[in-house]
Structures are given as structure tokens and as C-alpha cells.
Structure 1
Amino acid sequence: MAATQSRTDAFEREPVALTERITSDGSSHWPAEPGRYRLVVARACPWANRSVIVRRLLGLEPVLSMGIAGPLHDERSWRFHNDPDNRDPVLGIEYLREAYEKAHPGFDAGVTVPTVVEIASGKAVTNNFQCLTLDFSTQWRAYHREGAPDLYPEQHRAEIDEINEAVYDDVNNGVYKAGFAKGQGSYEKAYRALFTRLDRLSERLATRRYLVGDTITEADVRLWTTLVRFDAVYHGHFKCNRQKLAEMPVLWAYARDLFQTPGFGDTIDFEQIKQHYYGVHAEINPTGIVPLGPDPRGWLTAHGREELGGRPFGDGTPPGPPPEAERVPAIA
């Protein structure tokens, strides 16, 4: 997901350019159809990470292939620099922008991940990251694996939506508001909103294993993709340094619980995360030096959250191992 700066000293995120949705009911130009699309992501990006997790949990790998951009990019957009010949092996493109320009010649807005690309035409279809994972749950239901969890249960949707809105404003986007602020006042406002929200979430999670109900939902996915990056990049790089995640006992245990749940930690590459943030944001880190720490082995320690009960996948089952080509390095 791209970061942009407003004319004031406060950070404002640029709206997504391609708001199309892929649906099963004919309400859009793009039907949910096996083999038609490729999901383009980057391991570094928290917004893309949501789609990777939900795709895994629901078992959509056989029907929706995934291209993985490398952690580095420039003004030309995300690049497939970890693939052979620096090109996506299915789409044949070097830069994700090429798919946007095929769809919209002369395209001059933000090129972001996740993006869904139609394979046959090579055209970018949508980068609507806020709706994409919800559509995986609701519009791609016919292609879910047997035992797939319900991540957006109808009876809890209002509560999930309310939590998601607050988490987006203060946490997911809040770390960026702090990190890219151009003035002390804007930074302090974002910093205070972030930690106030984290304190409230900690209170909520002190007595319950998951944010809504007794199973993993979309709300957990969205919060977790920020938490898992917190100590590695947001604490130092974005100056969100009241505490490390590892110093917030409830949230640290909650995050470790999910990290050790199939479909979460097995999507994370800490090295690519650090390479992206410290290597691309030259205005914040002009030297481009990538820190060696923190030690990721803490993510594998016992968390004790089982005592709160809950059923991670509800009446469903865990996903199997990720496909070989999509595996991330194990924590040594």
C-alpha cells in the first residue's frame, strides 16, 4: 500500500484508485472465477498481508494464484526483483505498474499491493484492500476449502465493522500517521491515538482470546498485521516508542497466539519487512541501513492464551501447509 503526504504536516493516505469488486452475484463486471485472476502482494506490506492470510485460511490457493513482489520499489512501483529475470512468472511483468497501465493507459495514481490482476488480459482489476478480504469470505464462498472458517460471520458483522474502523484509523493507519508526520503536533496526535487505542484493545483482550466472539475473525486479521510489524519497524522507524509490543503483556501474548496459528506466522518474512521499511523510506532513514534486530525467536515462546478458551477456527479446521513456492523462511 502506498503512503502519501497531504499539503499539511499530517499524513493522509491516498484513496485506492481501482475500486472494482470481484463478486459472485453479477453485481460487478468481474465474476469470482477459478484461475482467472492473480493476487499480487508483497511480504513487507501489512495491507497485502491481510489478503495473504485470508486466502490461506479459506483455502483459495488452488483457484487464486499469488504473485509476490519483492520488498524494494521505486517511483515506478512494486517490482518482482526476487523472481527469475526480475519478472512475475505468470504475468510476465517487471513492475506492477505495467498491469495498471494495461487497464488504464496513462495511469498516474498510486500503484499498491494487494492488487488483483486478470491473467489473460494482464490488466489490474482492483486494489480495493478494504473490501478484498471481505469479498474472499463472502463472494468466493463456493471455492472455500472444506473446513474453512467463517471469518466474517453475519451475526457479528456490525461489531467486526465497528472494531475494524477504529483499528484502521488509530492503529493500522495510525502508525503511518506518526511515522510520516511532518510536524510535532501531528506526530503527537497520532502517537497518543495509537497508544490509547492499543490500551483499549489490551483491556478487551485481557478476558477474551479473540476480538469478536470466540473464534478468529476478520477483525483479528486486520489488527494482527500491524502488531506483527510493531517491534521490527513501527517502534523505531515510525517513532511509536512508548512501549514495544513485547512490553505490552496482553497484546504480546495475543499476537504470539496468532503467530503460532497456521495461516498467520507462516506468512511472515521479517527480513523482507525490514528491508522494505528501512530501505524504501529514504526521507525517514536516509542511510538505508537495515537493523539486524529484534530477535524473532520470541514469537515462538509460550503465550498461555489457551486458558481463555475460544476455538481458533470455530467448527472448521486449520489450513494445511502453504504451497512450496509460497513458504517463508522459518525462524531459526
Structure 2
Amino acid sequence: MADRRKTTDTASIDRRSFLKTGAAVVAGAAGVNLFNINHTWSQDVVWDGEPFDAGGATLSLNEWGGFWEEAMRENLINEFEKTYNCKVAYDSAFPWFPKYVANGPQNPAFNVGNWNLNEIIKLSRIGDFFMTVEEMQSNIPNAADVWDFAFGSGLGITWGFGQYAFVYRTDLVNPAPTEFKDFWNESLSGKRATYITSNGLQQVFFMTSSAMWGKDQYDMEAGFDAMRRAMPMKISDFTGNMQTLVERGEVEMGVQWEGEIFLQMDKEIPVAPLVWEMKPILTQTQTVSRYSEPVQKKLALAYVNEKLNPDFQTRMADIFYVRPSNKNAVLPERLTSKGVENTANALEGLWIPDWNWYLDNEDDIVETVNEIFAG
């Protein structure tokens, strides 16, 4: 757990509880909208980095399931529940977007979330769901030690990331690919792979293809042409399935992110990464719901603070091969042996695509690409 945490003191909490109750009574008598009062009151929550007793309150969060959930419970959540006297309700049933939409910003489905940028930005376009980065920074001590790129979304703080890359079989692809456009080599026809259009990796692959083969990421026609010329391709639904296809030799070159490739390398599978020249990144980004109740909101801030703890990030780098965002996180041998560094120079040129543009054009892109994939 981090050494610096935060809350207001008990007297302050009690005073706010009294103010909330009193305001509700007055509002009820005067016919004032209760949400407007709670809205202002909820935004007044602050946290100074010190542990506090949440009195058994439940913190609801959305985050990946399976082995990921096991690692989060073992390395963060179990101790967090003890330290803060709270219960963490963990929802791993992706997608979470419709659950947020169904509840609306004012009654958030979850208090804190961990996910990729495309879904966060998509939600921000339809409602005021999340605290801003500036609000989070002022309430999360460990945010002071995080690289600037981690705040790029404006809606959450990134704690871990990896670069997009092609995975290729070193024993089957000869000569070895050296640039992004080698994915389209004729020798790989029917032996290359990407993902279904709902997968963020395919979405970034499309935007990168548009930029590499066209004028920029906004050149949709170049992206469509690139997808057509890459066919026939195998279409995977998620990264684990891509790993299996590569291990079987059914795919000789496929869209992937570096962490999955590093894992296969350490399992002595003959693969290597080809990092894309534009250096797009896959992020693990934390959000805090703006209109959570005060205790849950403080717990959410404390939870994000733990995600930004350098020791936690080092452990996650060792388990999942994710690069840390905290400048002070020490990289494990699993990453340093692959040439990964946690330095400002290593972060130079990282690219986050324009997700607002993609979402503006998503219907056209998905419809056209699905037609291409269907043949």
C-alpha cells in the first residue's frame, strides 16, 4: 500500500453528513431539485492521502476478469479492504459502457473503473460521468510522480500501458519484417490476422493503417483499401485467441500488443514483436465517477492512488508485462531483458489516436470493414 493517503477528519465527515441531511429537508420543503444540492456537495469531496475508516462501505468498480482479477485482489484489493474497512464489489462483465449509460452520470453504475481509452471517451461524449484529470491530480498524491502522458485523456489517469505491435513467428516468416507495411507482404496472404471491429486493437490498427498508407489517420479510404489488400485474414475476437493461433502456426503475423508477445517469448515460443513506427499505445486507465457518494468517492480516489503506487506498478509489470506510468517504478527483469526502459526518452513519440474522430465515424468504419472481412 502507498505511504501517502487521504481523507477529511471524522468531524468534517460528520459535519458534511449533517449538511446533506439539512439541505435535503430544506430542499424538500422548498421544492428545490435535490440532485443540484447533492451535485455540489459530492464535488466537495477531497482526500489528502491518509487511510480512513469507511465504516464497511462498498466501493463498486469495473475491471478485467479472470487472472487479472485474481492478481488485483492479491496485490491490491485484499489489503485495501482491510486498510479502509470497506468492501470492493468487482464487476468483470465487459462491456461496462451500457451499464454506465443505463444508470446515467448522476447515479453511477460504478465508483471507479479501469479500462481502455476508447470506452472512456465514448462515455464522456454523452454525459458528465467522470472527474477531470485536474480534479484527480489534486486529490491523489501519487499522481505527482506519474509521467505527463498518463493524463492525456483528460478523463482518467493511466497507470500501465504497452505498445501496439505485430507478433510474428521467427521460424516461419523469412525474411523477418522490418516495418509496418510488411504485414501486407504477399507471402503472408491467408497467414496474417487482426480482430473483430468491436475490439480496440482492430480500431487502432485501422487508424494506423489509414495513416501509414494514406495522408493521416483520418484518411478512411486508405484504411479501407489497406483492409481489402490484407485479405484473406484470420479474424480473432481477443488477444488470448490470437496467442493460440500464433502458437499453432495458423497465424504467422498478427496484430497484438507487446505484453502478450513478451509472455510468449518467455514461454520459449518462437515469436518476436515488430513495434509500429507511429508508436500507438494500449493503456490501462483509471476513472473516478463524478457523482459517487462522498465515502465511495474518497475510496475511489484512494484506490487510484494505489494503482499509481510504484511498487504496485512494478508487480504488475512482472505479472502482465505492462509498462508503468510512475517515474519511480522499477522495471522487472522480464521487461528489461526485452529492452524496455522507464525513462523520458523511452516515452518519446508515443501516440494516442484521435478517438473522438473515430467515434464520429465509427458506424461507417464498422459497416465497411465488416463487409470487407465477410468477403
- The structure with the larger Rg is 2
- Structure number with the higher strand fraction is 2
- Structure number with the higher helix fraction is 2
Select the structure with the greater relative contact order (CA < 8 A; seq sep ≥ 6): 2
